[in-house]
Structure 1
């Protein structure tokens, strides 16, 4: 009887600590958004506020396993909301973070470096680990690159239960090499996306123009090359041993942003416990393969992500 009472007391104490920690985590997340908005206003006098759909958000859950998500270039946390809501319905608490510089303007985004993104993501993971001993990472495009960097440079972090890569960015398609070189040498810092997509119509672009509350409508060129450099650094990294963290890669062979062959090659090289799922339906499964509005494989992607995380 005494042992039962001790066990019950200990369990309740741990549960109370976890609940308090999570409440503090959520409060700090809200404070970060207030601080970020103030900083953005200093950096761009024309900036007003981060749209409600573009802010970092949390969702309460019944499980003691956190799902942490990071969006892609031009985007914001709202980009991954459909997957976040699906995971939350299964009981997982959610944290979807906002990459520093995003959710504002191209001028603001251009002020942030890849090093600042990596320091931010590490801080956020460590902050989450104070509340959860089991964390599942889901990164889309640049978010996938950021999580790849963390997992491959922190091999001793045993709190990372799994990592899911959605169209992870390591390199652009070879067809764009010429255009990227022009962009790099032109000296242009910002480009209106609507004009770009009129010149080069690709299915991957439609959702960006259609949802300005989620995506920047002007591309920050300096920030774009920070993404390119981060992708290359991760693609070229030579690990002493492969990561043993369970990894899940979902790749659209029709991706016109991140080169599918490079995605597969880099992840095969760096993860010993890797599952790869490829999707191919020309014009119907773009870079944003998880978005129902543009991808015919969105439901399949949702189920693949959920199944993988449940198994780990």
Structure 2
């Protein structure tokens, strides 16, 4: 199945500091591509993979599970750690949940986390019905493209496949159980006007992780996909400052 235009994965070989970017549920690398381009332009080695079942058509997600999505970012992290002295993991929405599991499982191999509106819990009572509903209804309305900025568009599915949504709920439970194992420095960007992920996600995350170097910044003018919204520049610059503080080599390897 051909990829949607703009949904291609992105890789850039830069200096000894790496960044892995994880996109969200039913989304694609396009939602994080400007962020990846900025990090690459500043000399970082960057990996922005396409998660299995994404970037083509929503039906392709029906045969994938969270284990498939996690395996992809796990492979990319291992590749980065083999070639970089330090690696940071960044994630948007479900990509934030994947990033947190990488941090919990890989420990010191992850030097820090930058999360944008991470999704770690269900905000809908209907989630409890997914084990049955997914066998009766193939999909519901999509959640992509929650952006305030006029003219900015996210490339993602217009339908949410319910088999995949059920698997996402299992990923949330897995990540919640592992949050106490997350101790890396964290920079969290959160949009108060997010129509996809509620503030309860950030509260749960911040209340359970073991990290002591934690900063939360609000994206006041953006909706869920802040990386393509009014506050995108603040996310890009904030993440660069965060990485440079923790990895001095990132300052000397600009291109």
Please report the TM-score for the alignment, with normalisation by the length of structure 2. Answer: 0.84
Deviation at 1:298, TM superposition (A): 2.3
Deviation at 1:152, TM superposition (A): 1.0
Answer whether contact 1:267 1:274 (CA < 8 A) is retained.
no
Matches within 5 A, 1:1-312: 47=1, 49-61=2-14, 63-155=15-107, 158-173=108-123, 176-178=124-126, 180=127, 185-186=132-133, 187-193=136-142, 204=146, 211=153, 214-237=155-178, 239=180, 242-279=181-218, 281=220, 284-292=221-229, 296-312=230-246
Deviation at 1:210, TM superposition (A): 7.0
Greater RCO structure (CA 8 Å; 6+ sep) = 2
Deviation at 1:262, TM superposition (A): 2.6
Answer whether contact 1:110 1:222 (CA < 8 A) is retained.
yes
Deviation at 1:60, TM superposition (A): 3.4
Answer whether contact 2:147 2:153 (CA < 8 A) is retained.
no
Answer whether contact 2:53 2:64 (CA < 8 A) is retained.
yes
1:260-311 CA-to-partner distances (Å, cap 9, x unmatched) read 2332332342132342324264xx421112213xxx3222222211111111
1:201-223 CA-to-partner distances (Å, cap 9, x unmatched) read x982678x9747x2122221211
CA distance in 2, matches of 1:136, 1:69: 9
Deviation at 1:182, TM superposition (A): 6.0
CA distance in 1, matches of 2:152, 2:186: 32
Answer whether contact 2:145 2:156 (CA < 8 A) is retained.
no
Q: 1:206 to 1:109 in 2, by over 3 A?
A: farther
Q: 1:105 to 1:266 in 2, by over 3 A?
A: same
Higher helix share: 1
- State the aligned residue count: 243
Deviation at 1:133, TM superposition (A): 2.5
Answer whether contact 1:76 1:98 (CA < 8 A) is retained.
yes
Please report the TM-score for the alignment, with normalisation by the length of structure 1. Answer: 0.69
Answer whether contact 2:59 2:161 (CA < 8 A) is retained.
yes
Answer whether contact 1:71 1:80 (CA < 8 A) is retained.
yes
CA distance in 2, matches of 1:87, 1:125: 16
Deviation at 1:120, TM superposition (A): 2.4
Unpaired segments ≥5 residues, structure 1: 1-46
Unpaired segments ≥5 residues, structure 2: 247-255
Q: In terms of Rg, which structure is larger?
A: 1
CA distance in 2, matches of 1:116, 1:85: 26
CA distance in 2, matches of 1:297, 1:205: 11
Q: 1:238 to 1:248 in 2, by over 3 A?
A: closer
